[in-house]
Amino acid sequence: MDCIFCQIASGKIPGEILYQDEELVAFPDKFPQAPVHILIIPKKHIASLAELSQAETPIIGRMADVANQMARKKGVFGRGYRLVINCGKEGGQIVPHLHMHLLGGKQLPGKLA
Ligand code: AMP
Ligand code: ZN
């Protein structure tokens, strides 16, 4: 499997792991766009939100819960933060493994598009 996020999740690429459990991993974004920029991913390779089966949708709630935990850990929980899932080409998804961005630590731009 040459998926970069699968390699990070399995420990094949060394890097800082901020959280992991049987299902999810969280790690810092390599090119942060805010003082806090963390990626939360499923260990299972799911190519995008569009590839998520109906049975798998609870994982999105679990990812949001881990994002809340990371926001607390990084001290932005009370300040506000943003969760983003880019999906597909026009959605701006570059890495084809489902991931949620946690962004915070500064006033984020108001416009989404
Ligand atoms: P997206 O555009 O939603 O697919 O976002 C992919 C994100 O992955 C970008 O914010 C990249 O900076 C980040 N990224 C790419 N390669 C790595 C890596 N090896 N480790 C951590 N983050 C990465
Ligand atoms: Zn993968």
Domain ranges, residue 40: 4-104
Is 91's C-beta closer than 6 angstroms to any atom of ligand 1? no
- For residue 111, being part of any structural domain is answered with no
Q: Would you state the pLDDT for residue 37?
A: 98
CA 91 – CA 88 distance, rounded (Å): 5
Q: Per-residue confidence of the chain (113 residues) as pLDDT tens digits?
A: 699 999 999 999 988 999 999 999 999 999 999 999 999 999 999 999 999 999 999 999 999 999 999 999 999 999 999 999 999 999 999 999 999 999 999 999 998 88
Number of independent structural domains in the chain: 1
Q: Would you state the pLDDT for residue 113?
A: 86
- For residue 67, being part of any structural domain is answered with yes
Is 92's C-beta closer than 6 angstroms to any atom of ligand 1? yes
DSSP secondary structure code for residue 47 in this structure: -
CA 53 – CA 99 distance, rounded (Å): 15
User: Which CATH number covers residue 44?
Assistant: 3.30.428.10
- For residue 62, being part of any structural domain is answered with yes
- Half-sphere CA count of 99, side-chain side, radius 13 A: 24
Q: Would you state the pLDDT for residue 112?
A: 86
- For residue 110, being part of any structural domain is answered with no
32: tokens are: 């942060």
Atom index in ligand 1 nearest the CA of residue 33 equals 10
On whether the pTM is more than 0.85, the answer is yes
43: tokens are: 């260990």
- For residue 79, being part of any structural domain is answered with yes
- For residue 59, being part of any structural domain is answered with yes
- For residue 91, being part of any structural domain is answered with yes
